[in-house]
Amino acid sequence: MAPRKFLDNMTGQNGIVPVVVVDTAEKKTQSPSLLDADEFRRQSHQVVDLITEYYDRMGDYPVHPSVTPGFLRNLLPPDAPFRPEPDAFSSALKDVRDIILPGLTHWQSARHMAHFPASSSTIGALGEALTAGINVVPFTWAASPAATELEMLVVDWLGKALHLPESLLFAGGGGGTLLGTSCEAILCTLVAARDRKLAEIGGNRICDLVVYCSDQTHFAFRKAARIAGILRDHCRAIPTCHHNMFALPPTELQAAMQADVEAGLVPLFLCATLGTTQTTAVDPIGELCAVSAPHGVWVHVDAAYAGSALVCSEFTHVIDGVEAVDSFSMNAHKWLLANNDCCAMWVKKPRVLVAALGPEQDLILKDAASEGHNVVDYMDWTITLTRRFRALKMWLVLRCYGIQGLRNHIRNHVRMAEAFEKMVKADERFEVVTDRKFALVCFRLRSPDKFGGADKQAANQLNRRLLEEVNAATSGPYMSSANVGGMFILRCAIGSTLTEDHHVSDAWKVVQDQATIILRH
* Residue 137, φ and ψ in degrees, nearest 5: -125, 90
Residue 447 contacts by C-beta under 8 Å, 6 or more apart in sequence?
Answer: 453, 454, 456, 459
> Would you state the pLDDT for residue 504?
98
Which pLDDT score, from 0 to 100, does residue 365 have?
A: 58
Contacts for 174 with CB less than 8 Å, ≥ 6 apart:
166, 167, 168, 346, 347, 348, 349, 350
Which stretches of 162-314 are DSSP H helices?
182-201, 219-227, 250-262, 285-292
What integer pLDDT is reported at residue 521 of this predicted model? 76
Kindly report the number of other CB atoms within 10 A of residue 302's CB atom: 30
- 105 neighbors 61 (Cβ within 8 angstroms): no
With left for phi above 0 and alpha for psi between -120 and 50, is residue 101 left, alpha or beta? alpha
Q: What is the pTM of this model?
A: 0.90
Three-state SS for 214? strand
Largest CA distance in the chain: 99
How far is Cα 268 from Cα 295, in angstroms, rounded to an integer?
Answer: 8
Q: What does the pLDDT profile of the chain (521 residues) look like in tens digits?
A: 344 443 344 444 444 445 445 454 444 444 457 889 999 999 999 999 999 999 999 989 999 998 999 999 999 999 999 999 999 999 999 999 999 999 999 999 999 999 999 988 999 999 999 999 999 999 999 999 999 999 999 999 999 999 999 999 999 999 999 999 999 999 999 999 999 999 999 999 999 999 999 999 999 999 999 999 999 999 999 999 999 999 999 999 999 999 999 999 999 999 999 999 999 999 999 999 999 999 999 999 999 999 999 999 999 999 999 999 999 999 999 999 999 999 999 999 999 999 999 987 665 556 655 565 578 999 999 999 899 999 999 999 999 999 999 999 999 999 999 999 999 999 999 999 999 999 999 999 997 665 444 578 889 999 999 999 999 987 789 999 999 999 999 999 999 999 999 999 999 999 999 999 999 87
DSSP state of 18: P
CA atoms of 205 and 24, how far apart (whole Å): 65
Give the pLDDT confidence score for residue 370 in this predicted structure.
55
- Nearest alpha-carbon partner for 154 in 503, 399, 507, 495: 399
